[in-house]
Chain A
Amino acid sequence: MVDFVQNTLDGFFIGSSYALLAIGFTLIFGVMRRLNLSYGPSIMLGVFAGTMIYIQLEAGLVFVACATVLGAVLAGIYVERICFWAVGRGAVLASMVSSFAIWMQLEELVTIFFPERTYAFPPLGDFSLEFGPFFIRGAHLVMFLCAAVLTVLLHLLLYKTRFGLALRAVSENPLAAKFMGINTGLVVFSAFALASAIGGVAGFLIASADQQITPLFGLWATFKGLIAMTLGGMGSIPGAIAGGLLLGIIEAQSTWYLGAEYRDLVAYFVLFAFLVFRPGGLFGQRLATQNRLSMQRV
């Protein structure tokens, strides 16, 4: 029983970083209805920018964080312009494949400039808390708190500001948003930048908790974001959070009870099961979104 609860705690905290990744992925998906396969790699570029100033300039934690977020945002803007803005509204498959092509490009860029297998990243906090039989890593706690604060800020942005209203309008129906005089191109661009910034924070927290970063991060992050988003309900932010937490817990439990080699297998199995029986995800997507997603032409 103790193990189960401990695993749930561990999974919950790791899941909070997955939730951040999923939120970023969802923001982009929400305004565009496409999968951005370059999401992880663009965040990775930011994290490597952070590691670079950490190693070369021995910069402090705050500077590394800023560099990470800035790098992720710049890379994200690059992806948005080439893969989504330039390709245009109708071609769903073309923009997704284009994001795949740029994914390959970004990954190779990273390995060219950072050829080692792994690079150091400044730690978040080397302490840990114990209460009763349970124990929480300090880095995980910081990760969770940052994610929680960021989520609250995002909620305020989306529901209490004019920009948030515009973003939600474009997410639901870009055509109707145009009729209101909303500049949909600008909203999409901003959503992308915002999603990249959130992703940058997530990348920073994850790399910091691991105290290292490897070039495998790009693919890994895209997948975590994608799986968590789908589990929670595509296009829903509360869903992304729930999906991320759930994914973290599933991973922790299956690693403990079945072994590390079964961890991802279980996660994919759960994902597949959701897609068969409950494609709307945990939060049961709003009907408008589900219908539109299934009617899309390739």
Chain B
Amino acid sequence: MLEVNDIVTAYGKIEALKGVDLAVSQGQVTCLLGPNGAGKTTLMMTIAGILRPKRGSIRFNGQDIAGKPARMIVEQGIVLVPENRLVFRDMTVEENLMAGAFSRSDGKTVQSDLEAMYERFPHLQERSTQYAGTLSGGEQQMLAISRALMARPRLLLMDEPSLGLAPLIVEDIFRIIRELNDEGMTVFVVEQNARMALQVADHFYLIEQGKVVFDGTPGEMEEDEVIKRAYLGKKI
């Protein structure tokens, strides 16, 4: 569904991505692992259209989208749940969700999607008129995810959804990812929490210092000694 070929993205003269190749298959959960500063967020921002790559191509269902502005990427059906959630704290929960649906023009289906979102996340419905800034970290993450879903994405990008959240909430998040995937959503998630990712992902990539250094299934990952020690701890 998504093919990334030899993407090079730089901040000024510093290349954060030095030629990244990967692919996300439709209907799967693909996970990108890597340490801090490896370029995970840079890659997400490049795909989402915030950053422009210096070189390379990104094809989504055959169409080249590299370098296109963010709003066109959203129109194509690729929506990002950003790192740190970035909910609109001075707007209510409902307004956040409506903002998520901004790119859509069909008012009635937006309304029914809103109701469906409230059914899936009853916590959000309880707090629909509360300011998003008053929600807990986990609730904000739910809001960020549902806000992205309001855009009816075909490919959902998630940048470190478990960051800064308590273990119980993290389990909830990954359960939601699995549910979404079961319903047919293609998900590309960036994570540092390899252990949880192993439970949901169908395919793994590992990025270090701007390049992909591993490409394989969960089984292959568990067999690789280096990865085991670095990302999965001594016990499995």
Pairwise interchain contact A180-B151, C-beta atoms closer than 8 A:
yes
Chain B residues within an 8 Å CB radius of A177: 99
Chain A residues within an 8 Å CB radius of B133: 286-288
B71 at the interface (CB under 8 A from A): yes
Given contacts A165-B98, A165-B99, A165-B102, contact A181 B88 (CB under 8 A): no
Given contacts A180-B74, A181-B151, A288-B133, contact A172 B102 (CB under 8 A): no
A173 at the interface (CB under 8 A from B): yes
A34 at the interface (CB under 8 A from B): no
Q: Return A239 CB to nearest CB of chain B, in Å.
A: 13
Pairwise interchain contact A178-B70, C-beta atoms closer than 8 A:
yes
A61 to B103, CA, bound (A): 41
Number of inter-chain CB pairs below 8 Å: 71
A117 at the interface (CB under 8 A from B): no
A162 to B106, CA, bound (A): 13
Pairwise interchain contact B50-A169, C-beta atoms closer than 8 A:
no
Which residue of A162, A165, A169, A183 is within 8 Å of B71 (Cβ)?
Answer: A183
Q: For the side of the interface on B, what is the size category?
A: 20 to 34
Pairwise interchain contact A179-B48, C-beta atoms closer than 8 A:
yes
Which residue of A168, A181, A183 is within 8 Å of B91 (Cβ)?
Answer: A168
Chain B residues within an 8 Å CB radius of A181: 70-71, 73-75, 102-103, 151
Pairwise interchain contact A179-B103, C-beta atoms closer than 8 A:
no
A69 to B133, CA, bound (A): 37
Pairwise interchain contact A288-B89, C-beta atoms closer than 8 A:
yes
Which of B58-66, B78-86, B116-124 lies on the face that meets chain A? B78-86
Chain A residues within an 8 Å CB radius of B71: 178, 181-183
A109 at the interface (CB under 8 A from B): no
A175 at the interface (CB under 8 A from B): yes
Given contacts A172-B88, A175-B86, A288-B90, contact A180 B50 (CB under 8 A): no
Chain A residues within an 8 Å CB radius of B210: none
Pairwise interchain contact A286-B90, C-beta atoms closer than 8 A:
yes
Given contacts A165-B95, A165-B98, A165-B99, contact A179 B80 (CB under 8 A): yes
Pairwise interchain contact B74-A172, C-beta atoms closer than 8 A:
no
Chain B residues within an 8 Å CB radius of A260: none
Pairwise interchain contact B90-A172, C-beta atoms closer than 8 A:
yes
A180-196 interface code vs B (CB 8 A; 1 in, 0 out): 11110000000000000
- Chain B residues 87 to 127 lying within 8 A of chain A, measured CB to CB, are 87-91, 95, 98-100, 102-103
3 nearest interchain CB pairs? A181-B74, A181-B103, A176-B86
Other 7 A-B pairs with CB < 8 A, given A165-B91, A178-B71: A166-B99, A169-B99, A179-B80, A179-B86, A180-B103, A182-B102, A289-B90
Q: List 12 A-B contacts (CB under 8 A).
A: A165-B98, A168-B91, A169-B91, A176-B86, A176-B88, A178-B71, A179-B82, A179-B148, A180-B74, A180-B103, A181-B73, A181-B103
